[in-house]
Amino acid sequence: MTGTEFYSLLRNLYQKDSQFFYGNYSSKKWLPQDDNKPSFQFKGKKQTKSIPFEWLVHAKEAQNRGEQIHRKWFNELNHSCNSNDCRASVAMWLLEQHGE
């Protein structure tokens, strides 16, 4: 499955608010973006976060190339040094569960 197909699959699977997944996380409505590629929005323990279209597509494409997807991979993609960003954990879980 391509990165775009993976994104589309997630769009179909997580359409409703409050669908629980991965521990205490629950889905929220997809967050609209200017490019018409909504971000995957979810509620964690304290606040609502979102995973951009690009993260999901690039992660799946990298996985297809045989790359190991882990927190450091997402930090490099996002140019972030926050090792506690739960978006990486949620994105990795989505890949494990739905990325075939």
**Backbone phi, then psi, for 48, in 5-degree steps?**
-90, 135
Range of the domain at 24: 3-98
C-alpha 43/C-alpha 36 separation (Å) is: 21
Q: Which residues contact 73 (CB under 8 A, 6 or more apart)?
A: 59, 62, 67
Q: What is the pLDDT of residues 76-90, one digit of tens each?
A: 887 665 666 788 889
Q: What are the pLDDT digits (tens) for 10-29?
A: 999 998 888 899 888 999 98
Helix (H, G, I), strand (E, B) or coil at 69: coil
Handedness of CA 98, 54, 50, 93 (dihedral sign): positive
Give the range among 9-18, 34-43, 57-66, 74-83 with minimum mean pLDDT: 74-83
How many domains does one find in the chain? Answer: 1
